[in-house]
Amino acid sequence: MDDIQHQFVKNILAGGQANPKAAGSAFAPSNIALCKYWGKRDAALNLPINSSLSISLGDLGTRTELRIRDEGIASTSSRRAVEAMPSSLDLVYLNDALQSPDSSFAQRISAFLDLFRPMLGNAGFEVRTENNIPTAAGLASSASGFAALVMALDDFAGWGLERRKLSMLARLGSGSASRSVYDGFVQWHAGTHPDGSDSFAEKLSFQWPEFRIGILELTDAAKPVGSRDGMNRTVETSPLYRSWPTQAGRDIETIRRAIQEKDFSALGQTAEQNALSMHATMMSAWPPLIYLQPESMAMIHQVQRVRADGLEVYLTIDAGPNIKLLFLEESEADVAGSFPGLKIIKPFEEVP
């Protein structure tokens, strides 16, 4: 499996000469899918079953800085140690706190860096990552995390990779990260090739300055089952999953059209139905995956109530308990009044 990933990375970097700087850094926004990615057709290359479409969250996301560790790898004997046990040599900081090499956070980053280490001198890295969104609370920090990491690596190595390639590399870290290398509306094309060469994200050219996202952080508790295990379990055991790829295919077309025509009702309805359908596949998995908490249910009902009263607001939910609201600028004051504590994001106005 690792060989396949190494080969994939080599192909992407083919021809690109590394010309490393002292340090690389990059920012990548988090993103929220309006048509969800749920299910893999290939685990090693992280190829999705269905295409997905998201909106990036402006200046909410991850900033990452990366350099070779000072101690370096001078002697041959320590170089051998790197090859035998490369992951333990990275120093990984999250919001200024050094993470234990055994933590799943550091391990995921080190495993990802292993794919690039052979081209960059087989050294250990120092990685400093700052999130301005809660980690693992359903606000897709792995998406912005791997996108920022790949872009920081590119900056460090001086490869000068085009976005499409950055998106394909980020995909290996986390599928949703393939979309976080762009702002605005982004589509990740599932592709059909078994070698993963046509599975990449692309920015849609449409702007929608009045578009708003509201984040209701109901709990910042880490979810019990991560997206990766959750989607694998769903594909393997949920009888409802069979209908998902067809629905996602239909939804993404409707959402694309709605963005193009600025038809907010069509966009909101389709995005909400898409998210709740994904949750239906989760709930019908075995053992059941129930990410929604009582607070989430209360919010879902509250959205239905205010909508019945004439306020145009829709919701979407990822693999976690937190709810994201979708609305337009014209409804901002009313939505804020109906949902105290709402954090409002203007995805087209706060691009850093």
Least Cβ distance, residue 226 to ligand DP6 (angstroms) = 7
Contact window for ligand DP6 (CB under 6 A) among 29-37, 154-162, 242-250, 334-342: 29-37
Query: Can you tell me which of 79, 228, 307, 346 binds ligand DP6, judged by CB under 6 A?
Result: 228
Q: What is the DSSP string of 312-329?
A: --EEEE-SSS-EEEEEEG
Q: Are 125 and 90 in contact (CB under 8 A)?
A: yes
From CA 62, how far away is CA 43, in angstroms rounded? 25
Note whether 36 binds ligand DP6 by CB under 6 A: yes
**Distance from chain centroid for Cα 37:** 10
Q: Does 33 bind ligand DP6 (CB under 6 A)?
A: yes
- Considering the rule CB under 6 A, would residue 46 count as an interface residue with ligand DP6? yes
Within 92-151, the residues that bind ligand DP6 by CB under 6 A are 140, 142
Q: How far is CA 28 from CA 130, 140, 213, 263, in A?
A: 11, 12, 18, 28
Query: Which residue's CB comes closest to ligand DP6?
Result: 175
Cβ–Cβ < 8 Å for 240, 279 = no
The reply on whether position 154 binds ligand DP6 by CB under 6 A is no
How many Å apart are CA 51 and CA 135, to the nearest integer? Answer: 25
Residue 187 binding ligand DP6, by CB under 6 A: no
Return d(Cα 40, Cα 231) in angstroms, integer.
8
CB of 168 to ligand DP6, least distance (A): 13
Q: How many residues bind ligand DP6 (CB under 6 A)?
A: 15
Distances (CA, A) of 43 to 116, 223, 277: 19, 21, 23
Question: CB of residue 79 vs ligand DP6: minimum separation in angstroms?
Answer: 31
Instruction: Supply 98's token pair.
Output: 């050094």
Region near ligand DP6 per CB under 6 A, out of 15-23, 36-44, 66-74, 117-125: 36-44
**Given its phi and psi angles, is residue 341 left (phi above 0), alpha (psi -120 to 50 degrees) or beta?**
left
Quick one: 117 or 171, whose CB is closer to ligand DP6? 171
Rule CB under 6 A: is residue 175 a binding residue for ligand DP6? Answer: yes
| Burial of residue 166, with CB atoms counted within 10 A of its CB: 0-12 exposed, 13-18 middle, 19 or more buried | buried
339 part of the interface to ligand DP6, by CB under 6 A: no
Which of 8, 37, 116, 327 is in the footprint of ligand DP6 by CB under 6 A? 37
Measured CA to CA in angstroms, residue 288 lies from 15, 64, 176, 235, 283 at distances of: 47, 36, 23, 12, 5
By CB under 6 A, what part of segment 52-71 binds ligand DP6?
Answer: 52
- 227 contacts ligand DP6 (rule: CB under 6 A): yes
Min dist CB 283 to ligand DP6, Å, is: 14
* Nearest residue to 46 via CA among 183, 214, 219, 227: 227
* C-beta closer to ligand DP6: residue 165 or 223: 223
Q: Is 176 in the site for ligand DP6 (CB under 6 A)?
A: yes
Asked if residue 313 binds ligand DP6 (CB under 6 A), the reply is no
Minimum Å gap between C-beta 123 and ligand DP6 is 26
Minimum separation from the CB atom of position 287 to ligand DP6 (A): 18
Residue carrying the six token digits 């120093």: 91
Q: Which of 62, 72, 111, 118 is nearest to 88 (CA)?
A: 111
CB nearer ligand DP6, residue 52 or residue 56: 52
Q: For binding to ligand DP6 (CB under 6 A), which residues are involved?
A: 33, 36-38, 46, 52, 140, 142, 174-176, 227-228, 318-319
